[in-house]
């Protein structure tokens, strides 16, 4: 086994036990984990580490590195909290060796807080009042259950004190029971057991608030609803919580009280005696007044957090698929933002997305100016050599699409196509600061048409300008933790932008800010420099921009592209630090780098032994040189809507239509079939085989064929099916059992360190 040094100072005091725990949780080698943490601490970005530091990390992928980054943040916060708790308890003079060991050993936030609970500053309670009356010794007598020289009644009588507010023995015993109840409620082991019991055995029970007005019956299925806590999926939990927020529903977590009471009595009652009935009363009081509500609140919060994570995961996947939708490419596009009374706004952009011209046409009621609208289209298309028309999918989109298709036929246009484009968020962009900076002199409606045109050219480059929450691919997105959602979505955008790469000479600052290592301010400086000095001729030239130092350049350079620049490698994903390797390969073949890129077959003759580079890095270099500057996105294909179906009323059960998946949730997928209202393909109708997650069958942006099951004009609900068009499900053989998990590659030396840490 390879032994490697653990430089704990560089890992900011993370214990070996935590490192072992993270390695096991994520099933990553300890060496790769430590190396990744060091790179992150040195300011490395996830895309850069994943792409250009494979030798160091052991070829960990981006998902694994982001998981490490997330766990690193969690456990560092845990360590900070642990240090504060130890310091606080020590200042109280109550930190025993046993308590210190338990606090140091736990890796669970809930358990840490449970251990801290008895020492946490709290408001005045019945137990603190009883302690002020001097009743703690009597409570400890009940708790220890060790017979004394006198009866419990006689002992209680010794605590009678009118000055302290204890009038008789029964009042003394009542106060003692309050102290015992609090002791039980603050016991970390009891809380942990009851929390797990509630997760395993309790039920979510929801009902309609009396007199609540649910106009569209959105929450009807939850008016009288029960589901086990252990099984309720995220979307139903979020729906119930939203119903509660809107004062339409209320819900509780119900657990048969006999189970937790029996457990607590079995732990508290050690032997029978005259204290037994008082301890039983204390247990009942504790559960009813303290533990049940407290644990229920914790479980509600945990369910909320789990549902949030699941909903955010769905949003992440949808956003990733949307951002990586196939681009139509570099061609002049005419964008149309459809409208009826106010007309259709038109904007033309060139092949780089530069705005050229705009106009308005009125092909629909009340003007029905088909001739004038056709003339304007013809003039603009001829003047700017337009090769495609992008039509927003909002109001009057299908009517506009029909008009454009008729125009194509009348003009006998070949090599030109029209596409319906999802315009979600275009109005948000139009009124944004980014749009005002780009087009300060243009009306909002024109900016919207420009955005629609650019979305066809390159969805990624345009959608990064819009708040992801405005794009419409989430699931209960406004109900989840907004900070966590924002951070997660920004990570998705960063990942997509760097996977595709960014043209340094055409990218907006809104796109450049997501390049690894580039801040928003630096992105703006790059654009300012480009506007003043002209196009960049090489990657190295970007270091002349204020704010781009060696570290920023290291992180960003491989993801920046310069087409037609001084160095042909600048248009590829080969990092400048690896240019000498390519020069070695070219020199060995006796040709220039330009010729090497033009003749990828020569790469098959490379003697890898002679090159001073790691295996993973060399593999990436060779793959990139074989297809320099390749775009990882799929080839663009335009969906074709049925020309006879324009309104919801046109839909009939049994129809087969082509549509585009606009959103994927845990309960199914929404598909745009061109009638201004997306239809739902329920998870049970997505495939003729069993699927647990809709993402197994479809993804956002995918073109699918669907059968219409039903269409209700009143409720505007459309039920669709993909399964109906697939035929019978294939016969399933016996599933092959999965291979056993590989053992974690953990160093014996690290294990020894962890054991030593636990003994501290």
Evaluate whether 119 touches 88 at the Cβ level (below 8 Å). yes
What would the two tokens of residue 217 be? 């019956």
What would the two tokens of residue 182 be? 């609090």
Q: CATH topology for 16-118?
A: Arc Repressor Mutant, subunit A (1.10.10)
What would the two tokens of residue 374 be? 């056709």
**What is the rounded distance in angstroms from the CA atom of residue 86 to the CA atom of residue 64?**
32
Residue 154 exposed, middle or buried by CB count within 10 Å (0-12, 13-18, 19+): exposed
Evaluate whether 115 touches 84 at the Cβ level (below 8 Å). no
Taking residue 599's Cβ as centre, other Cβ atoms within 10 Å add up to 12
Domain with CATH 3.30.420.140 in the chain: 333-496+508-525
Taking residue 738's Cβ as centre, other Cβ atoms within 10 Å add up to 6
**What is the rounded distance in angstroms from the CA atom of residue 75 to the CA atom of residue 22?**
9
* Maximal C-alpha separation, the chain: 110
Say whether the peptide bond before residue 150 is cis (omega within 30 degrees of 0).
Answer: no
pLDDT of residue 12: 57
- Report residues of the chain scoring pLDDT below 70: 1-13, 729-760
Reported CATH class of domain 333-496+508-525: alpha beta
pLDDT of residue 595: 83
Closest CA to 176 of 212, 248, 126: 126
Residue 148 exposed, middle or buried by CB count within 10 Å (0-12, 13-18, 19+): exposed
Closest CA to 320 of 199, 460, 164: 460
Taking residue 749's Cβ as centre, other Cβ atoms within 10 Å add up to 15
pLDDT of residue 521: 96
What would the two tokens of residue 338 be? 């459809």
pLDDT of residue 757: 43
What would the two tokens of residue 438 be? 């780009």
Chain length of the chain: 760
Residue 515 exposed, middle or buried by CB count within 10 Å (0-12, 13-18, 19+): buried
Domain with CATH 1.10.150.310 in the chain: 530-626
pLDDT of residue 400: 92
pLDDT of residue 291: 96
C-alpha 217: how far from chain center: 29
Q: Which pLDDT tens digit goes with each residue over 547-596?
A: 999 999 999 999 999 998 999 999 999 999 999 999 888 888 788 888 88
pLDDT of residue 628: 85
Evaluate whether 555 touches 522 at the Cβ level (below 8 Å). no
Q: Which pLDDT tens digit goes with each residue over 49-64?
A: 999 999 999 999 999 9
pLDDT of residue 394: 84
**What is the rounded distance in angstroms from the CA atom of residue 363 to the CA atom of residue 404?**
10
Backbone angles phi and psi of 71, in degrees to 5: -65, -35
Q: Which residue has the tokens 């690290």?
A: 750
Residues 6 or more apart whose CB falls under 8 angstroms from that of 241 comprise: 251, 304, 307, 479
Q: In CATH, what number does 122-317 get? A: 1.10.3500.10
Q: In CATH, what number does 648-725 get? A: 2.40.50.140
pLDDT of residue 598: 81
**What is the rounded distance in angstroms from the CA atom of residue 547 to the CA atom of residue 555?**
13
**What is the rounded distance in angstroms from the CA atom of residue 707 to the CA atom of residue 720?**
6
717-721 vs 703-712, strand pairing mode: antiparallel
pLDDT of residue 190: 97
What would the two tokens of residue 437 be? 């900076």
Closest CA to 501 of 319, 593, 633, 617: 633
Evaluate whether 639 touches 658 at the Cβ level (below 8 Å). yes
**What is the rounded distance in angstroms from the CA atom of residue 23 to the CA atom of residue 12?**
17
Q: Which residue has the tokens 């009588």?
A: 157
pLDDT of residue 491: 94
Reported CATH class of domain 530-626: mainly alpha
CA dist 87 → 90, 95, 114, 289, 459 (Å): 5, 9, 16, 31, 52
Residues 6 or more apart whose CB falls under 8 angstroms from that of 378 comprise: 407, 411
What's the angle, vertex CA 326, arms to CA 322 and CA 329, rounded to 5? 130
Evaluate whether 364 touches 396 at the Cβ level (below 8 Å). yes
Backbone angles phi and psi of 704, in degrees to 5: -135, 160
pTM of the model: 0.85
C-alpha 197: how far from chain center: 29
Local structure of residue 286 (DSSP, 8 states) = I
Q: Which residue has the tokens 């029960």?
A: 226
């Amino acid at each position: 086994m390879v032994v490697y040094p653990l430089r704990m100072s560089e890992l900011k005091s993370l214990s070996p036990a935590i490192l072992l725990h993270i390695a096991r949780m994520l099933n990553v080698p300890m060496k790769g984990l430590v190396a990744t943490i060091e790179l992150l601490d040195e300011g490395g970005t996830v895309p850069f580490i994943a792409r250009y530091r494979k030798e160091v990390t052991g070829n960990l992928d981006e998902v694994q590195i982001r998981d490490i980054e997330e766990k690193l943040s969690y456990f560092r916060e845990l360590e900070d909290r642990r240090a504060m708790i130890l310091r606080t308890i020590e200042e109280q003079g109550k930190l025993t060796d046993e308590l210190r060991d338990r606090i140091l050993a736990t890796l669970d936030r809930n358990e840490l807080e449970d251990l801290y609970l008895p020492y946490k500053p709290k408001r005045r309670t019945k137990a603190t009042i009883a302690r002020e009356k001097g009743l703690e010794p009597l409570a400890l007598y009940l708790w220890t259950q060790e017979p004394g020289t006198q009866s419990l009644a006689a002992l209680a009588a010794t605590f009678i004190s009118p000055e302290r507010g204890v009038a008789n023995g029964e009042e003394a015993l009542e106060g003692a029971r309050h102290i015992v109840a609090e002791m039980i409620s603050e016991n970390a082991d009891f809380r942990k057991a009851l929390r797990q019991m509630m997760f395993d055995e309790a039920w979510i029970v929801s009902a309609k608030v009396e007199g609540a007005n649910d106009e569209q019956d959105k929450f009807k299925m939850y008016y009288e609803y029960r589901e086990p806590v252990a099984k309720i999926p995220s979307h139903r939990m979020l729906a119930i919580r939203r119903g509660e927020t809107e004062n339409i529903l209320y819900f509780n977590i119900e657990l048969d009280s006999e189970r937790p009471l029996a457990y607590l009595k079995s732990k508290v009652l050690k032997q029978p005696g005259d204290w037994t009935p008082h301890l039983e009363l204390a247990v009942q009081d504790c559960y009813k007044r303290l533990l049940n509500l407290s644990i229920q609140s914790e479980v509600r919060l945990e369910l909320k957090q789990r549902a949030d994570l699941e909903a955010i995961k769905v949003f992440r996947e949808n956003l990733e698929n949307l951002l990586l939708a196939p681009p139509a490419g570099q061609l002049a596009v005419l964008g149309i933002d459809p409208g009826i009374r106010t007309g259709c706004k038109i904007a033309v952009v060139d092949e780089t997305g530069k705005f050229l011209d705009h106009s308005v046409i009125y092909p629909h009621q009340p003007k029905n100016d088909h001739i004038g609208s056709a003339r304007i289209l013809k003039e603009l298309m001829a003047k700017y050599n337009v090769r495609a028309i992008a039509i927003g999918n909002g109001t009057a989109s299908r009517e506009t699409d029909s008009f454009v298709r008729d125009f194509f036929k009348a003009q006998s246009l070949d090599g030109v196509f029209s596409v319906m484009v999802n315009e979600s968020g275009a109005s948000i962009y139009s009124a944004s600061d980014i749009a005002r900076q780009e087009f300060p002199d243009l009306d909002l409606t024109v900016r919207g048409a420009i955005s629609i045109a650019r979305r066809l050219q390159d969805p990624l480059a345009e959608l990064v300008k819009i708040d992801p929450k405005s794009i419409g691919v989430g699931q209960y997105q406004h109900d989840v933790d907004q900070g966590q959602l924002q951070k997660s979505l920004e990570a998705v955008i960063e990942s997509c932008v760097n996977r595709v790469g960014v043209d340094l000479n055409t990218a907006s600052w809104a796109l450049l800010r997501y390049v690894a290592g580039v801040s928003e301010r630096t992105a703006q400086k790059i654009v300012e420099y480009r506007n003043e000095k002209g196009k960049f001729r090489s990657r190295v030239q970007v270091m002349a921009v204020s704010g781009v130092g060696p570290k920023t350049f290291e992180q960003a350079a491989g993801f920046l592209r310069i087409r037609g620049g001084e160095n042909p490698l600048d248009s590829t994903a080969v990092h400048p630090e690896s240019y000498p390797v390519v020069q070695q390969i070219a020199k060995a073949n006796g040709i220039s780098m330009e010729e090497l890129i033009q003749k990828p077959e020569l790469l098959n003759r490379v003697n890898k032994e002679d090159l001073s580079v790691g295996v993973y890095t060399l593999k990436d270099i060779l793959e990139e040189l074989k297809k320099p500057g390749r775009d990882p996105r799929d080839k663009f294909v335009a969906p074709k809507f049925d020309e006879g179906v324009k309104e919801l009323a046109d839909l009939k059960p049994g129809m087969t239509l082509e549509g585009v998946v606009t959103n994927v949730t845990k309960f199914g997928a929404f598909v745009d079939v061109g009638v201004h209202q997306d239809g739902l393909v329920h998870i049970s109708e997505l495939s003729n085989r069993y699927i647990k997650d809709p993402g197994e069958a479809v993804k956002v942006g995918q073109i699918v064929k669907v059968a219409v099951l039903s269409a209700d004009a009143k409720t505007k609900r459309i039920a669709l099916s993909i399964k109906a068009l697939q035929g019978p499900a294939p016969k399933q053989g016996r599933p092959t059992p999965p291979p056993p998990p590989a053992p974690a590659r953990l160093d014996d030396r690290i294990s020894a360190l962890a054991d030593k840490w636990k003994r501290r």
